[in-house]
Structure 1
Amino acid sequence: MTLPAIDTIITYPDGATSSTGTVLHVEPITDERSAVILDTTAFHPVDTAWPDQPADRGTLTTSSGRLPIVDAVTGGIHDGILHLGADLPVRLGTNGWTFVVAHIVAGPPPVTGEAARVDVDRGYRAALSAAHTACHLAALALDAALASAWTKAAPTDALGNPAFDALAIQRSRIQPHRSTDTYRIGKSLRRKGFTPAALADPSAVAERVNDQLAGWLAAGGAVRIHRDDDSLSARRTWECELSTGHTNIPCGGTHIQDITELSDITTSLTTRDIDGGLELNMETVTTAT
């Protein structure tokens, strides 16, 4: 079968939870599962390079019937070979590659050329979107709370605070209405001027983070995803109009449209000693209005 020659068009950055497209390719994975590639989709896949937000849940419907989408991953095509998920060896946007959303379906797969409708579980998407927006806000609030912990000039975030989150983040995981971010404070960060003693009392830092979050929520602020075009490989940026300024963070996930959609964001911080430094974990829980 001929593999797609252009990137998948994605509509989820604009909040879409349903779409209609054409089946371009079906790749068998096991006897029971196949990867279905459409020209257009509203279905958010797991990003291979930074798998913080899980795939949407939902269904794919064609004239042959409705199939559950059990997973969705980013894929890349090069020299006529399709690489899926963890087997994708390059980042999105790499020249010479075509990038696609692969919908993993269970059951008899659709036929190439068929029209296909994707329907996303709206409640699950909304819970992930709320958590992802809250995660970004918590990261910015953590930067602000630790601004005095630096002894040298450091790269800054969009609000002008030393970018602790960007410099120390190791992994981030989004779940419905909550997220977990893990940071490493080692030799590299200390050489950049960060003072680990600033985290001697994590609860005090969390209190400052939560105070900042409460102020932002009370003021409200529009949220949007900026992107140059509609292709999967296009660079996407989360932007938010906060009471303390305009901010942006590179992000391929989904989000709410205004922080007034959140009634509460609460973080908690814990630390533990690790080989060569300190690990900080930030748990963020949010409630939607």
Structure 2
Amino acid sequence: MNDSLQTGIAPENRTSTRITFPGGETYGCGRVLFAAGADPGTAYIICDQTPVHPESFRWPDQPADTGLIAWGGIERRLINAYAGLLDQATGELRLHQAARDLGRCQDGWAGVVVHVVTVGELPAIGTEIEITVDRQRRQQLSAVHTAAHLASLSLNRALAPFWSNSTEVGDSLGSPDFDRHAITSSQIGLEGSTDVYRIGKTLRKKGFVFEAARAGLAGVESEVNAVIAKWLQEPMSVVVEPGHALLDSRRLWRCALEGRTAEMYCAGTHVGDLGEIADVNVTLAASADELMMRASVRRAT
């Protein structure tokens, strides 16, 4: 897999991709800026705008959308999509590790969505293409991602008694933000999510008493599930703002819970209402220095 390649995109078009997936869009049109063969059997297409959610190189928790790309009676299967960085001076595209290697010093680089399609005839530069996302798959991933946020907020609340430092900065609902401080990986799948938390020296110094939490893990798990069930009994709207933005823009997930606004930064997709989630079941497991949270999710029919 080539992590760096020259695109030849015209200087005036070396800007961040306009995206509509934060607002829930699953169909849109885009003007082709780059199209070329990539790995064996695939090709890359970059457009000026897209409804496609790509896999992030920074935090690859949610898989990319799949679907169809069409123009002039021709169709290509959209099998993947990556977030990449485009050098605004040279037109060089970096993906995966090459993009991560730039770190946070990314001035002069624009975030772009790279559509991965099946190989075959490709659209010419400037062609207007139609992009259709697999809606059912998107809805399932969105339900799981929203449920994962509910689970993390509920976990923060259930673990609140195990902090010895009451001045610890809280999440948007006022609980100590265990999730933000300890999470090391997150995976969103079609049937559920898995979050892994590291319990290191820094977290302990902040006042988290892991031994007590581990001893009472069954009770923590029970409370997490009870809180989520309560939230789902009162369906509230869920929004990601801005709904139409540049890929480079930070987006904020918001949902009203118990009369307060829960919010966190998120680059993924979500349901429009908690009523779209039928139930969530969380299980917790702990080792000497790690906590794992799995959430199985069922969509409402």
The two structures have a TM-score, normalised by structure 2, of 0.90
- Structure 2 unaligned residues grouped into runs of 5+: 1-7
Q: Which residue of 1 aligns with 2:3?
A: none
Distance apart, 1:229 and its partner CA: 5.9
Distance 1:85 1:106 in 2: 20
Q: Which residue of 2 aligns with 1:15?
A: 24
Distance apart, 1:56 and its partner CA: 0.6
Distance apart, 1:94 and its partner CA: 3.5
Distance apart, 1:86 and its partner CA: 2.9
Q: Which residue of 2 aligns with 1:102?
A: 114
Distance 2:81 2:114 in 1: 6
- Give the superposed CA RMSD: 1.7
CA contact 2:17–2:50 (8 Å) conserved in 1: yes
Distance 1:61 1:93 in 2: 36
**Within the alignment, does 1:169 sit opposite 2:176 as a pair?**
no
1:257 to 222, 247, 272: 272
Q: Deviations over 1:130-161 (max 9, x none)?
A: 00000000000000000011111212100010
Higher mean C-alpha deviation, range 164-173 or range 29-38: 29-38
Q: Which residue of 2 aligns with 1:2?
A: 9
- Structure 1 unaligned residues grouped into runs of 5+: none
Q: State the one-letter code of the partner of 2:234.
A: A
Distance apart, 1:166 and its partner CA: 0.4
Distance 2:236 2:49 in 1: 30
Q: Which residue of 1 aligns with 2:299?
A: 288
**Within the alignment, does 1:45 sit opposite 2:54 as a pair?**
yes
Distance 1:228 1:177 in 2: 25
**Within the alignment, does 1:54 sit opposite 2:54 as a pair?**
no
Distance 1:31 1:110 in 2: 18
Task: Give secondary structure in 1 for the equivalent of 2:157.
Answer: helix
Q: Which residue of 2 aligns with 1:184?
A: 198
Distance apart, 1:30 and its partner CA: 2.9
Q: Which residue of 2 aligns with 1:226?
A: 241
Q: Which residue of 1 aligns with 2:169?
A: 155
Structure 1 pair 124/229, CA: closer, same or farther in 2 (3 Å)? closer
Distance 1:280 1:263 in 2: 26
Distance 1:68 1:155 in 2: 46
CA contact 1:64–1:110 (8 Å) conserved in 2: no
Q: Which residue of 1 aligns with 2:143?
A: 130
Q: Deviations over 1:220-253 (max 9, x none)?
A: 2210001296111011011011115111111000
Distance 2:181 2:109 in 1: 29
Higher mean C-alpha deviation, range 2-11 or range 259-268: 2-11
Distance 2:284 2:274 in 1: 22
CA contact 1:93–1:234 (8 Å) conserved in 2: no
CA contact 1:149–1:195 (8 Å) conserved in 2: yes
Q: Which residue of 1 aligns with 2:285?
A: 270
Q: Deviations over 1:14-49 (max 9, x none)?
A: 111111111111243235322100111011100110
Aligned structure 1 segments of 4 or more residues deviating by more than 3 angstroms:
89-94
Higher mean C-alpha deviation, range 63-72 or range 118-127: 63-72
Q: Which residue of 2 aligns with 1:66?
A: 75
Higher mean C-alpha deviation, range 153-162 or range 30-39: 30-39
Q: Which residue of 2 aligns with 1:142?
A: 155
Q: State the one-letter code of the partner of 1:145.
A: A
Distance apart, 1:85 and its partner CA: 2.8
Distance apart, 1:73 and its partner CA: 0.3
Structure 1 pair 229/16, CA: closer, same or farther in 2 (3 Å)? closer
The two structures have a TM-score, normalised by structure 1, of 0.94
Percent identity of equivalent pairs: 36
Task: Give secondary structure in 2 for the equivalent of 1:207.
Answer: helix
CA contact 1:12–1:42 (8 Å) conserved in 2: yes
1:87 to 72, 78, 98: 98
**Within the alignment, does 1:199 sit opposite 2:210 as a pair?**
no
Higher mean C-alpha deviation, range 178-187 or range 236-245: 236-245
What is the aligned length?
285
